[in-house]
């Protein structure tokens, strides 16, 4: 399942969703579907069993992973693995918790589970199964640090919890026992790069400039700004749209929209022909005579496909 906000974040999440389905084609044996992140969060609290693997951008994955950690009992139980081509990082998702540092009261479960993921990644399948079964057995015994578990049973400290896990090596939990697969051979890597790998997109060649968004500062009304912009548009551009805080204020718009002194002015090619950077530069220079330009953004097409979202109302 791909979790995304592609209905709103059309460029970033839209591309992410598109890539998801592109890659999914290579794995026809896996079921691929997607869900809007709002809906995902609602379903995770009502029907968490609906989901198996969720692929997300960092921004939303951060939020949803903490939500899921909450569902399984808190950050003390959430391991993580970052798998790269050359470097892997295995860590608990919780932070360093400086407020309890040195007090010997942390719950080591998340770090243990992260360690198990590392052992499996390295091929130590047998050791991982032994430790995981022992951990589950220990949890079943009701042994717990202060942050979770049955409050009627006294809690243990971090060292005692770890000692209990070690003492239980070889024991099997009643529920969720992990099978012990044979160890796998490790492939030694001493791969060394001499320059950064460059991932060149296949679509680059087809890309052409079709317009530009200019973010300007002004305390004037939209009608007056439009009049000035139309003069700057010259023979290459047409003024398409002016918006303020994401809301269209020209050519149509509500008189009740509160304006701030930051407008987005969208120009597109007058004849829908590809533009050059020189054309955009000409417009930029002309506009800068009248307005402070805070930011600019090229509008590109990849082949016949717009690589930008339409403005609200466009």
End-to-end CA distance of the chain: 31
Taking phi over 0 as left and psi of -120 to 50 as alpha, with beta for the rest, 230 belongs to alpha
Which x/- pattern over 189-228 shows residues binding a second copy (rule: CB under 8 A)? ----xxxxxxxxx--x------------x-x-xx------
Residue of 11, 18, 33, 62 that binds a second copy (CB under 8 A): 62
Please identify, using beta-carbon distances, which residue of 188 and 289 lies nearer to a second copy. 289
- Give the residue carrying structure tokens 């402070």: 292
Query: Does 69 help bind a second copy (rule: CB under 8 A)?
Result: yes
Distances (CA, A) of 165 to 59, 69, 138: 35, 22, 6
Which window, 16-24, 171-179, 235-243, 251-259, contacts a second copy (CB under 8 A)?
251-259
User: At closest approach, how far in Å is the CB of 231 from a second copy?
Assistant: 19
Neighbours of 101 (CB within 10 A): 9
Residue of 104, 159, 206, 288 that binds a second copy (CB under 8 A): 288
Taking phi over 0 as left and psi of -120 to 50 as alpha, with beta for the rest, 29 belongs to alpha
* CA 128/CA 149 separation, integer angstroms: 24
Which window, 21-29, 54-62, 151-159, 165-173, contacts a second copy (CB under 8 A)?
54-62
- Give the residue carrying structure tokens 């051979």: 185
Contact set with a second copy (CB under 8 A): 5, 8, 37-39, 41-46, 59-60, 62-67, 69-71, 73-75, 84-87, 193-201, 204, 217, 219, 221-222, 249, 253, 255-261, 277-278, 281, 284-285, 288, 292-298, 300
């Amino acid at each position: 399942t791909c979790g995304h906000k592609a209905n709103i974040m059309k460029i970033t999440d839209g591309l992410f969703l598109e890539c998801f389905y592109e890659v999914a084609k290579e794995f026809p044996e896996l079921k691929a579907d997607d869900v809007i992140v709002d809906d995902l969060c609602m379903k995770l609290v009502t029907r968490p069993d609906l989901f198996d693997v969720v692929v997300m951008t960092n921004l939303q994955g951060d939020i949803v992973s903490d939500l899921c950690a909450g569902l399984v009992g808190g950050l003390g139980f959430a391991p993580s693995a970052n798998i790269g081509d050359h470097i892997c990082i295995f860590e608990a998702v919780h932070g360093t918790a400086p407020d309890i540092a040195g007090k010997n009261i942390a719950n080591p479960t998340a770090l243990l589970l992260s360690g198990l993921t590392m052992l499996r990644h390295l091929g130590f399948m047998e050791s991982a199964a032994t430790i995981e079964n022992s951990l589950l057995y220990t949890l079943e015994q009701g042994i717990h640090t202060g942050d979770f578990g049955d409050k009627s049973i006294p809690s243990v400290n971090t060292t005692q919890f770890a000692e209990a896990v070690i003492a239980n090596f070889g024991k099997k939990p009643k529920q969720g026992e992990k099978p012990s697969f044979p160890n796998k051979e490790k492939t030694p890597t001493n791969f060394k790069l001499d320059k950064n790998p460059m991932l060149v997109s296949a679509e680059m060649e087809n890309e052409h400039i079709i317009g530009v968004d200019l973010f300007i500062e002004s305390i004037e009304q939209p009608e007056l700004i439009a009049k000035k912009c139309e003069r700057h548009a010259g023979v290459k551009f047409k003024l398409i749209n002016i918006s303020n805080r994401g809301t269209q204020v020209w050519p149509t718009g509500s008189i009740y929209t509160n304006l701030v002194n930051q407008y987005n002015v969208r120009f597109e090619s007058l004849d829908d022909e590809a533009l050059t950077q020189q054309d955009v530069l000409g417009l930029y220079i002309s506009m800068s005579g009248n307005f402070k330009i805070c930011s600019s953004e090229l509008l590109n097409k990849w082949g016949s496909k717009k690589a930008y979202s339409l403005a609200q109302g466009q």
